Structure formats: C-alpha cells, structure tokens
Amino acid sequence: MRRPVVDLSDCVDCDGCVSVCPQVFARSEAGYIEVRECAMYPDALVEEAIMMCPSHCIFWEDDEETTE
C-alpha cells in the first residue's frame, strides 16, 4: 500500500492539507503536520492536497509489506 508523507523541512504550515483532507492530515500537539494511520488513504483527496500544497512537500511513498 502507498501512503502519503510530508517533508516537514519544506512545510510552511499553511494548513491547506488539513483543510482539504482532515481525515489524513492533522496538526500534532507538537505543532507539526502529521499523517494519520489509515487502513486506506483516499487517493483523490490526497492528490488534491498534493496539488495545492504551496511547498510541494507532500508525496506518496510505497509502503511495501513483506509477507513470509
């Protein structure tokens, strides 16, 4: 499964991703944007957040599970 990640070093704290997709992006108590653990990430909403992020610091990461 792929999951969105945020490169916090480029994040400018605009809260855009949180308004577009609050079920995935949230502001932690420490004040950083965090990606919530989800069983399934809503592709369309995450894509929208990726497109509107002014710093282009949200991207997909492949989270490959190895089953043995």
Residues interacting with ligand SF4, by CB under 6 A? 6, 11-17, 33, 53-55, 57-58
Complex with ligand SF4: residue 2 or 56, whichever CB lies closer: 56
Complex with ligand SF4: residue 9 or 67, whichever CB lies closer: 9
- Least distance from ligand SF4 to the Cβ atom of residue 68, Å: 35
Distance of CA 31 to the CA centre of its chain: 15
Single out the residue of 2, 1, 18 nearest to residue 53, CA to CA.
18
CA distance 46 to 57: 12
Tell me the residue type at 24.
Answer: V
Complex with ligand SF4: residue 26 or 68, whichever CB lies closer: 26
Q: Within 10 Å of residue 60's Cβ, how many Cβ atoms?
A: 14
- Least distance from ligand SF4 to the Cβ atom of residue 50, Å: 9
